[in-house]
Structure 1
């Protein structure tokens, strides 16, 4: 992607807690360690993070508890001021914005959903969704119309008059998502929004979220500690440990080419065949004869397993959704991933 597509960026960002951490700023370098800071009575929740998030991309930030992922998203939204480094939105350094400019940026560009639903108990679902539009000064008729539209989008048509106590946990979460979407954000921050839900509702909400993602073009930062959830949702995944980003890459490259021993350990139990799409193993055609039926490059090896195993061709053509040949799959490499290398 081109640099012009970058919506959200952070460069060498640190967030340090302790006694007067602001005085540490000039002394924080990539070589500064956790032990260095601990010796001065400080804790680094975010350590020298640099990454770019592109328009329309969904970046999932994940790690274990205490890895710094929630602190990072709060720095990206400037709910916390960074100790060092720069966070920019569409090229603007948000650390330099006045309070009024920051409020306007959040109202016009950002939507946020956090672990706690944060619904107003004395307001109906419709009134909760319309609330940020009311704060923006929008007239009643237009904000009610917009809130109704958003509730229908998340599958809650007919429950507009319900109070939060009358809704299930999953339904309350949908109200929270609808409320954040009501302001039509360009950038959407979601900090473990499904963590409080039971597994069945969580899966249902993931499905709902994928449906919404396909319908509304947003740049999304999604925080989770659940690797399966990250694999289902992400365009790219950033894995954090002790405040630092260990690797940022596509789900396929994360599992096929872990950059550090920690990432390798993190992904060791993943069924790669359910993550890796045939296209990730594709080689350029480069004059290779293309014979017979092509397999869809966008499907995972797990989905194509029987066809790959039963195919007799050493090189299997792959195609896109329009049936155009996009590359060649080495059958042996695919079978080795499916069944393990031959003894």
Structure 2
């Protein structure tokens, strides 16, 4: 979890009960009455039960669960489209429940934008008018808002569609308009409620790619609702899983996959293709086998302390290749004071920490060495072993890949 000083949204002890007398029903809920019993015997619906979570600035926080789990109910509390029966909603330290009508309007216009499942576009307005609508509500002058809207349309790949109408666009294009409209207001927080679930699988995947690409540039705080675990694992920096209005686990994607907190979560994740969901970073070990010496003699002394008969050679220019103990011993016999150079190390392609495991399985199986993991500057970050892959993926996955 990110540092608490980075906290943007805090939900504390949040309850939502739907019915004619929710306050009375709350006594039953706190006495331990479950969702089914509350409905059958007391004619009230338990939407959310004692939700506590924090969302950090600049992260994609995914809230997921099956139909009826309470995920859409929860996200609508953030901008008070729904008021809680009990509990606090703090955004940037401000208690949203304390806002009066005017302050709440300003909060919704400037702090949060929402992207809906069914696009939510106005059919009688052109694409650029739809995108600029939030700015119009904010009182921004027409010339400025149209210029800004045009920029966002270009960003989401819809330059040239400004004067089209929603009915003339495909579903994927309409959702891009919805995303551009949400971004156009420059709100700090994006609420995305099943935003891609109405799209065909290929278009949905493209929209996920675009959201990841935009987030790399914009660093917005995004609260993303989905019922699709693969989507959650692909998009989320952290994931919250709801069941019957209760929060059952919050964690990074790899924690959800590898350390399920309950039988429910374990059943939820058991059929996930881990090779497609996990990255090298989640499996790699620290780079123990590092050789940094400048002379053959010093390099051999370092090699003798390593667990393997090889090491990764690293100099001021970063990772260079793999050095074998046998090669160093031969070079030592000729000249122990000679400098370590390209004649000593062998090429071994490095991999990236953010590479998906599926893409590196063939390389892992084809080499007898652990694969070096480097960052974009060529600095050694870790090493990936075949045994670590087998442990996290299972023998079946790696043997099939082979």
- Do the two structures share a fold, i.e. TM-score over 0.5? yes
Distance in 2 between the 1:336 and 1:28 partners? 42
**Does the CA contact (< 8 Å) of 2:284 and 2:388 recur in 1?**
no
**Does the CA contact (< 8 Å) of 1:305 and 1:338 recur in 2?**
no
Distance in 2 between the 1:276 and 1:193 partners? 23
Matched, 1:12 2:47: no
TM-score (norm 2): 0.79
Give the secondary-structure state (helix, strand or coil) at the position aligned to 1:181. helix
Q: Once the 2 structures are TM-superposed, how far is the Cα of residue 197 of structure 1 from its aligned partner?
A: 1.5
Q: Once the 2 structures are TM-superposed, how far is the Cα of residue 287 of structure 1 from its aligned partner?
A: 7.8
Partner of 1:105: 107
Matched, 1:212 2:267: no
Matched, 1:299 2:355: yes
Stretches of structure 2 that go unaligned for 5 or more consecutive residues are 291-305, 313-321, 323-347
Q: Once the 2 structures are TM-superposed, how far is the Cα of residue 323 of structure 1 from its aligned partner?
A: 2.3
Task: Please show how residues 36-47 of structure 1 align to structure 2 within 5 Å.
Answer: 37-38=38-39, 39-47=41-49
Partner of 1:76: 78
Structure 1 residues 32 and 286 mapped into 2: Cα distance closer, same or farther (>3 Å)?
farther
Tell which has more relative contact order, 1 or 2 (C-alpha 8 A, sep 6+).
1
Partner of 1:150: 152
Match of 2:188 among 186, 189, 193: 186
Q: Deviations over 1:209-245 (max 9, x none)?
A: 2222222220000111111211221111111110112
Partner of 1:60: 62
Structure 1 residues 258 and 274 mapped into 2: Cα distance closer, same or farther (>3 Å)?
same
Which structure has the greater CA radius of gyration?
2
**Does the CA contact (< 8 Å) of 2:17 and 2:26 recur in 1?**
no
Structure 1 residues 25 and 95 mapped into 2: Cα distance closer, same or farther (>3 Å)?
farther
Q: Once the 2 structures are TM-superposed, how far is the Cα of residue 10 of structure 1 from its aligned partner?
A: 0.3
Structure 1 residues 300 and 198 mapped into 2: Cα distance closer, same or farther (>3 Å)?
closer
Q: Deviations over 1:124-175 (max 9, x none)?
A: 0011111111111111110111111111111110010001111112111111
Q: Which moved more, 1:163-172 or 1:89-98?
A: 163-172
**Does the CA contact (< 8 Å) of 2:117 and 2:196 recur in 1?**
yes
Partner of 1:93: 95
Structure 1 residues 61 and 298 mapped into 2: Cα distance closer, same or farther (>3 Å)?
same
Structure 1 residues 75 and 217 mapped into 2: Cα distance closer, same or farther (>3 Å)?
same
Q: Deviations over 1:19-69 (max 9, x none)?
A: 221345577549553356344322111111111110100011111111111
Distance in 1 between the 2:395 and 2:26 partners? 49
**Does the CA contact (< 8 Å) of 1:318 and 1:329 recur in 2?**
yes
Distance in 2 between the 1:336 and 1:25 partners? 46
Q: Once the 2 structures are TM-superposed, how far is the Cα of residue 252 of structure 1 from its aligned partner?
A: 1.3
**Does the CA contact (< 8 Å) of 1:67 and 1:242 recur in 2?**
yes
TM-score (norm 1): 0.92
Partner of 1:252: 254
Stretches of structure 1 that go unaligned for 5 or more consecutive residues are none
Q: Deviations over 1:64-121 (max 9, x none)?
A: 1111110010012211001111111011110111111111111111110111222111
**Does the CA contact (< 8 Å) of 1:45 and 1:68 recur in 2?**
yes
**Does the CA contact (< 8 Å) of 2:364 and 2:385 recur in 1?**
no
**Does the CA contact (< 8 Å) of 1:28 and 1:84 recur in 2?**
no
Partner of 1:162: 164
Matched, 1:333 2:335: no
Q: Once the 2 structures are TM-superposed, how far is the Cα of residue 279 of structure 1 from its aligned partner?
A: 1.7
Match of 1:323 among 378, 385, 398: 378
Distance in 2 between the 1:155 and 1:168 partners? 13
**Does the CA contact (< 8 Å) of 2:283 and 2:392 recur in 1?**
no
